[in-house]
Structure 1
Amino acid sequence: MVEPLAEQPIEASRDPAADASVTVGSKKFTESVILGDALTLLLADAGFEVKHQSALGGTRILWGALLAGEIDVYPEYSGTLLREILADQRLYGLDALRAELAARGVVMSAPLGFENTYAVAVTAETAQRLGLETISDLRGHPDIRFGFSNEFLDRGDGWPGLKRRYRLPQTRVQGLDHDLAYRGIASSRIDATVVYTTDAEIERYRLKQLADDLGYFDDYQAVLLYRNDLMQREPGAVALLQRFEGAISEPVMAELNGMVKLDGASEQEAAAQLLADRFGLEVEVERKGLWQRLLERTLQHLGLVSVSLTAAILVAVPLGIVAARRPRLGQLLLGLTGVLQTVPSLALFVFLIPLLGIGWLPSVAALFIYSLLPIVRNTHAGLVDIPRPIRESADVIGLTPNARLRLVELPLAARSILAGIKTSAVLNVGTATLAALIGAGGYGQPILTGIRLDDTALIMQGAVPAALLALAFQGLFELGERWVVPRGLRLRPAAA
């Protein structure tokens, strides 16, 4: 390991008794999580109350969360700021960038000391076989299959601009998770991908980075972005954050990435190693056992599902009743809930961030919306399918419409309504795994981390409990059916 920097001891200029709170964010790739954990451990060691919203998602989610005050600081890259976040401003240089950010209430630190830019990479075997040295060489091989991260496919500094600059003829381009692209290139499912230059997998998979001979990719200096009001609220915290400036070299960052991606260390352990090597600071890393982590994730997931599903039942059943009693309005309600169901689940989570922020609240709101359609539709179908003679009999004995609904129609439609609720519950449990992308935790956390680290066992720590929870909810409503549905309606006629 490298020797500690010869600097003054790290101190925080704050009253330990003060109520301090700092929220750190990080993107959903290993390097960003390591840096986020390093910031978190350093602040916590100095006595600050600090929370790390780890692996929140892509660039736009983190940027939006920073502007909205959902997070106070997160690691970013100068090229991303210039070419993606503030691309419409046509800025040049760090000074212009810093001034534009300041106008938005955001402070950019000096570079942390390393650059992590994009590079187009192929396997060494592919490079030798096709004679590839530069990105321009790809023009002579239109059949090459590209696999890029979904974010890179649409970024201002991503594939569209790269294709135009180099006049690349390739059309076989697919989007996938950045970390899964390495699996794809190793298994020969794709021929080329875009890597981050500090990725540990470059060496692991013996990839060759093609020279950017037309200079498309900008410098991507690692920096910290933090809110200007953090300087006013917690100047001591900002002073600690500034100690990272110029403290991390590219080899050091690549080594830390390798600790996690290749050696199986946790991001917190890599972050603690960074603090020890660069600052001579020994911090304790909290290590939770498997069962403790499982209990924590179960409570988080159960909270998301139970609250959103309960709210959906309370809203959707009355909507289904209204839809059955008023046919024209009913078609509108069924159509509206159907349209909401067609919105991609991940997009719905992101759409709600500007309104509700990140974390638990937008996750519950999104899951509530996704739970409506099966319950509304089944309630409507169960009521309208009741034979007319039964309705007329209820009217003949003098039941009011509300009494007829309570005593006759709802009991007869109960099985259909419960079937809709069971369907919503199963869908809700599965969809809730995406809530980890916006900081709500649950079973999605180990699934996303396992995908990022190529760790099947970690993926199973989220996938298996999620499946068991879905079965538990289904069994719970099966038992509820025995209590809600009259016994006579549950009996099936004997076979002839």
Structure 2
Amino acid sequence: MYRGAAFGLITAITLTACGGGGDSDDNPLAGDNGGGDGKSIVVGSANFPENQLLAEIYSQALESKGLKVTRKFDIGAREVYYDQVVKGGIGVFPEYNGALLSVAVDENSTATSTEQVNAELKEKLPSSVEILDSAAAEDKDSVTVTAETAAKHNLKSLADLKPVAGDMTLGASSEFKTRNQGVAGLKKVYGVEFGKFQPLDGGAQTTLVKLLKDDEVQAANLYTTDPAIVADKLVVLEDPKNLFSSQNVTPLVYKDAVNDTAKSALNAVSAELTTEDLLEMMKKLVNDKEDADVVAKDWLTSAGLAS
């Protein structure tokens, strides 16, 4: 779902493709991802502020246990970073379990609940990686409209878009156009086809909100922990057919990069992190312009995970 970081358009930083094994000539991050041998654990993040915040929380939680951490944030979309984790270039990554399953592991999966999603991930993930405990915290994709648009077309759920979407423009990250939990799924599950699609970089939530408020787009793929939804009284359309599956914050780890101490530290974060916590921290990041490392430290301290 993240999403310090500029809150406008964020350019994805793509890493050189990793090779296999531990050959540092093929893998630019090799040798940095250890957990039990004194080497540094590489913690990565996607190219949006929330995910960078979560990566910072993971990093500080690991450091609080005396582990060395190398931060590799702002990498890009899942289509870019997933292989880096599978091949060991990244040791720890804050993921969203439903999106991980449907985008990277099994695009045909019909799992929706947290339990179903995690069961399939544990069965289908490559042998080099695993998920740890999921947090209660969840940040789902949504299709969101302004209160004015909702009232004009009597929109309450995604199904209500079907007769009017042809005259509307949908704004979203470029990846949303081809994902099953995106434009393809909207057509398949709800019969919804937008007249136009406005692609933006994955970190452009603030830009999406502005385009939505200015009526440059009439619907937007916003993350449900975006504080603008409450602040600007936007309407998240209901998803009765569960197009968007559970999206619990879940550590994805390269097995050889993390020891029991590291796993315990990450699972402790998951045990405490709630959606309300995530929304409050995003308000501090976006509205109050606080630095991610400060927000992360304050939360870890309040949760009793750091001093």
Report the TM-score, using the length of structure 1 for normalisation: 0.51
Whole-angstrom CA distance in 2 between matches of 1:18 and 1:160: 45
Find the counterpart in structure 1 of residue 186 from structure 2.
Answer: 162
| Identity level (%) | 25
| 1:333-362 CA distance string (max 9 Å, x none) | xxxxxxxxxxxxxxxxxxxxxxxxxxxxxx
Q: Distance in 1 between matches of 2:86 and 2:141?
A: 26
CA distance in 2, matches of 1:90, 1:188: 34
**Unmatched tracts of structure 1, length 5 or more:** 1-16, 283-496
3-state DSSP of counterpart to 2:250: strand
One-letter code aligned to 1:181 = L
How far the C-alpha of 1:87 sits from its partner, in A, is 1.8
- How many residues get paired? 263
Higher relative contact order (CA 8 A, sep 6+): 2
Report the residue type matching 2:252 in the other structure: L
**Letter of the 2:144 counterpart:** A
Corresponding position of 1:126: 149
- Determine the C-alpha separation between the residues in 2 that align with 1:230 and 1:164: 39
Match of 1:272 in 2: 297
Per the alignment, residue 453 of structure 1 pairs with none
Counterpart mapping for 1:456-467 below 5 A: none
Matches of 1:74 and 1:221 in 2, distance apart?
A: 13
Q: Deviations over 1:389-424 (max 9, x none)?
A: xxxxxxxxxxxxxxxxxxxxxxxxxxxxxxxxxxxx
Structure with the bigger percentage of helix: 1
Match of 1:262 in 2: 287
Question: How many Å separate the matches in 2 of 1:188 and 1:95?
Answer: 41
**Mapped pair 1:135 → 2:162:** no
Which of the numbers 239, 254, 271 marks the counterpart of 1:227?
Answer: 254
Does the 8 A contact of 1:87 with 1:156 survive in 2?
A: no
Q: 1:337-486 to 2 correspondence within 5 Å?
A: none
Q: How does 1:293-304 map to 2 (within 5 A)?
A: none
Question: How far did 1:153 drift?
Answer: 1.4
1:78 partnered with 2:97: yes
Partners of 2:194 and 2:66 in 1: CA distance: 54
Listed as ranges, the matches of 1:243-258 within 5 Å are 243-258=268-283
Question: Quick check: 193-202 or 234-243, which moved more?
Answer: 234-243
Is the 1:230–1:238 Cα contact (8 Å) retained in structure 2? no
How far off is 1:248 after superposition?
Answer: 0.7
Structure 1 residue ranges, 4+ long, deviating more than 4 angstroms after superposition: none
Q: Which runs of 5+ in 2 are unaligned?
A: 1-35
Out of 139, 143, 158, the position equivalent to 1:116 is 139
**Separation (CA, whole Å) in 2 of partners of 1:146 and 1:267:** 30
- For residues 190 and 83 of structure 2, what CA distance do their matches in structure 1 show? 32
Give me the TM-score of the superposition, normalised by structure 2: 0.80
Q: Give the match for residue 187 of structure 1.
A: 214
Contact 2:65 2:261 in 1 (8 A): no
Query: 1:123 offset after TM fit, Å?
Result: 0.7
Give the structure 2 partner of residue 47 of structure 1. 66
Hey, what's the Cα distance between the residues in 1 that align with 2:174 and 2:107? 21
Q: CA RMSD in A?
A: 1.9
Alignment-derived partner of residue 27 in structure 2: none
Question: Which residue number in structure 2 is paired with residue 173 of structure 1?
Answer: 197
Q: Which has the larger radius of gyration?
A: 1
Q: Which residue of 2 aligns with 1:207?
A: 234
> As a proportion of its length, which structure holds more strand?
2
- Distance in 1 (CA, whole Å) between partners of 2:283 and 2:294 is 12
1:237 corresponds to 2:262: yes
